[in-house]
Amino acid sequence: MAPLRRSRSCLLVAITAPLAALWHLWAPEGSPLALAFFGSDKEDPVDRTKRILREADAVFFDVDSTVVTTEGIDLIGKCFGIMKEISELTHKAMNGNVKFQDAMAERLQLMADHGMTKEKLEKCVKTEGVPKWSPGVREFVQMLHKQGTDVYLVSGGFQNMIKPIALELHIPQKMIYANEILFDEEGNYAGFDRSAPTSASGGKPKVLKLMKRKKGYKNMIMIGDGATDLDARLHGPAKAFIGYGGVSVREKVKNNADWFITSFQEVLDVLPKGTDL
C-alpha cells in the first residue's frame, strides 16, 4: 500500500503545482484576489501596502485626477470648445470600457477637427496648464524624495501638460512617461507617437517592467485613479497598488486596490516625519 500512496501523492503534486503557479500569475501575491482565495492568514493588504510604502525604492504616480485634480486632455478640449465631448470619452477610457489607444485617437482627431494646431495647443497649455494640485500630493512627493525613493510620473496624458507639473515636483524629465502629440511642418495635427508605451492599453505595466529591468527595483508601488493604473499591479511588477479616489471614485479601482484612499494625508501619516527621515 505504501508505494501506491506515494504514487498518488506524487500525482497530486504533479497536478496541483502547475495550477498553483498559474494562479500566482493571475492573482499576484498579496492582492485582494489572492487573499480571498488563499485565506485570511495572509498579511492584511492595507498593512502590507503601508509596509511596502515605507520600504519602496520607486513610486509611480498617475497624473490626471491623481497628482492634479484635472484631466489634461479635457482642458485641451476646453480650449477648442469641446470639453464635454472629450470628457465623456476620457471617462470611458478610464473605466476600461474602450481600448485606450482608440479613445486617444478619437479625442485627438476631434480636437484637430475643431481647430487644434501646434501654435494653438502651445497657447492652450499656457492658459490651462497651471497645475491644480490634489491636496497633500506635493508634500507626499517631497517626503518620498527625502527617504530616497525614486518618483516617476506615468500618464496616458501628454508631455506638454505634464512637464510643468514635474518641474514643480522636482521630478527629472527622464522620469516622465507620457504621450506626445505630433504635428507636421506646417503645424497641423499629424497623430501621436505610437511608439510610446503609454500610448496603448497595457502601457503602464510596460513602463514598470522596463524600469524594473533597468534599475533593478525590488519594491515598486503604483498610485492612480483609473483601470490603466490598476493594470500595473494586476499585469505588471508593482508590489502594491494604491487607488486614489480624491477626485473620482471608480468602482473597479476601489474594489481591486490593495489600499484605497481619498486623501494623500492618509499616506503622509504612514511615512516617517521630519527628523525621522
Strand order in the sheet with 150-158: 176-179, 150-158, 58-61, 220-224, 240-244, 259-261
Question: C-alpha 275: how far from its chain's center?
Answer: 30
Q: From the candidates 64, 150, 225, 231, give the one annotated as an active-site residue.
A: 64
Measure the CA–CA gap between 226 and 93, rounded to whole angstroms.
9
- Three-state SS string over 30-92 comes to CCHHHHHHHCCCCCCHHHHHHHHHHHCCEEEECCECCCECCCHHHHHHHHCCCHHHHHHHHHH
Q: Which amino acid is at 225?
A: D
Helices (DSSP H) in 129-260: which residue ranges? 137-146, 159-168, 203-215, 227-234, 251-256
Any catalytic annotation for residue 62? yes
Measure the CA–CA gap between 255 and 233, rounded to whole angstroms.
13
Q: From the candidates 44, 47, 62, 113, give the one annotated as an active-site residue.
A: 62
Any catalytic annotation for residue 41? no
Angle at CA of residue 38, ends 34 and 44, nearest 5°: 65
> Any idea which residues carry the catalytic annotation?
62, 64
